Amino acid sequence: MSNPVQKNLSLFARYLTLWVFLSMLIGIVLGNIAPKFTLSLGTFEVAHINLSVAILIWIMILPMLLNIDYTALHKVWQHRNGIIVTVGINWLVKPFSMALLGWFFIYHVFSDFLDPLQWDSYYAGLVILAAAPCTAMVFVWSKLSGGDAQFTLSQVALNDLIMIVAFAPIVGLLLGMASIHIPWNTLLLSVLIYIIVPVIIAYFWRKYLLRKQCLKLTLQRMEPYSMAALLLMIVLLFAFQGKQILAQPLVILMLAIPITIQVYFTSGLAYLLNKRLGVAHCVAAPSALIGASNFFELAVATAIALFGFESGAALATVVGVLVEVPVMLSVVAIVNRSKVWYERG
């Protein structure tokens, strides 16, 4: 007998693109018809980390963290080729390719349509965005693509360690700045909120559920809430920027183009490199997704700290937030649909 919850989830997944775009539309409308409400939710934050969004991300990532066998984390070294590819894409390719794309589109392709006084600021925002690899949402993308949970957790932790020492030098090099102010409170608090705390909770909760022999049932019951949290988060992100989207639609579209190209380029390159190295699809999928997504809280906070709240840099990083979910979901779909091709050899 078929499980009605699973049947509803498969129906949901089949029309996920539709639900995502409806959520985006609802968010934009909500941000314009109820600005006070969205403003109150938008200001519910600590160190530029919106707590409403953080709660929703927790609901999304806890099922995947519960799936992790923490006693088997040492086996991740078997996937070292995937780790090498992901680290290389994140730190040797992504920031520099975005710098090239930003220079090409802002100073040349769209130069006649953008305010010349904001060229440098827009460019800086794109570079900052690309230099901050994603933390929390990677768990969601990995789960949706059938990624190896142990690999994803270890890779996210490794990226965070590298980010502490490499983020400022790379941004400073690409922007020609002698010193970069890093919002350490945002960086460290995000690691605490999105990795350390949920991992500890998941570790002990998993032990309890295994002892009670109800882990599988709990995961099944959590799944609908996880998907609902994803759509609600999209509504909130677009509601927070609803007025901005309608006020500057052309600028937002122009900034979204290099960001979107960057996502497809880096994810595609990581995916192909993993295939060339014979990496299993369950590792190649999250490797490609980790290499493409962005740590938008850190990017937005850094842009505001360096250039101000009303700057083009801040706007560019916010556009990265808006592009992140729908574009990354499309990458997840591509990775899933190409699994047979990938494994064909």
Query: What CATH number is attached to the domain comprising 293?
Result: 1.20.1530.20
Residue 268, both tokens: 């595609």
- What pLDDT, on a 0 to 100 scale, did the predictor assign at position 48? 78
Cα-trace Rg, the chain: 20
- What pLDDT, on a 0 to 100 scale, did the predictor assign at position 271? 97
Residue 192 lies in domain: 4-343
Cα–Cα nearest to 65, from 213, 214, 222, 186? 222
- What pLDDT, on a 0 to 100 scale, did the predictor assign at position 249? 92
Distance CA 259, CA 126 (A): 7
Per-residue pLDDT reduced to its tens digit, 45-90:
887 788 898 899 999 999 889 988 888 777 788 889 999 999 999 9
Distance CA 332, CA 335 (A): 5
> What is the number of domains present in the chain?
1
Cα–Cα nearest to 301, from 44, 56, 128, 90? 128
Low-confidence ranges of the chain (pLDDT < 50): 1-2, 4-9
Cα–Cα nearest to 132, from 180, 167, 107, 104? 167
DSSP one-letter string for 2-21: --HHHHHHHHHHHTHHHHHH
- What pLDDT, on a 0 to 100 scale, did the predictor assign at position 10? 56
- What pLDDT, on a 0 to 100 scale, did the predictor assign at position 24? 92
- What pLDDT, on a 0 to 100 scale, did the predictor assign at position 305? 84
- What pLDDT, on a 0 to 100 scale, did the predictor assign at position 32? 92
Distance CA 323, CA 252 (A): 10
Is the pTM above the cut of 0.75? yes
- What pLDDT, on a 0 to 100 scale, did the predictor assign at position 328? 92
